[in-house]
Amino acid sequence: MEASPRDIADPVGGQRWVFRRTGADTNGELLEADFYVTPGGFVREHVHPTQEETFTGVSGTFVLDVDGQTRTIRPGDHVVIPPRTRHGFRAASEDAHLLVQVRPALRLDDYFRTFLGLSRDHRIRMPVKGLPGPLLEVALLLDRFAPEIAAPRVPLWLQRPMWRVLARGARLFGRKPSYPEYGAP
């Protein structure tokens, strides 16, 4: 089997992730990556149900929204986001480079490979505002990676069964829940 890619870029979302260490490298304990964002790049608000995420500024200025508060990260600054905390960022105003650490790693690197690949290939869209889509593709993704990522503002006890039912419907319509073409089996 071919090794999963360690460098994933999505020009549509203005992101590039370069994995230094993944869960496979650290017995599931740590995901560590260089995260590069270009002007206009963004990440919709989301939560990690069981993971703590730490951002460390390397270059540029990065503005992060954490649980409704704006946090600016400059070189040398650290921001730690506890599990189940809403966070994301609006369109970046400049190039930025951050070191990101996530504990435990779970399969978050596979989520990034899949999500960025789907976005890059225009198979999924996550606008800054508005509904992501297509809905069945989003449901497959959020159901498969439920331990790693969840929608904000909707209780987990409600969204987990909702994504599961929609993902089941997606499979009935012939959609596949895995994407080996992105190195995420």
- Residue 165 pLDDT > 60, yes or no? yes
CB neighbour class for 65 (10 Å; exposed up to 12, middle 13-18, buried from 19): middle
pLDDT band at 75 (very low <50, low <70, confident <90, very high): very high
For residue 23, what pLDDT is reported?
A: 93
Residue pLDDT, tens place only, 112-147: 999 999 999 999 887 777 768 899 999 999 999 999
Which helix or strand (DSSP H or E) is residue 53 part of? Answer: strand 52-59
Digit-coded pLDDT (tens) for 100-112:
999 999 999 999 9
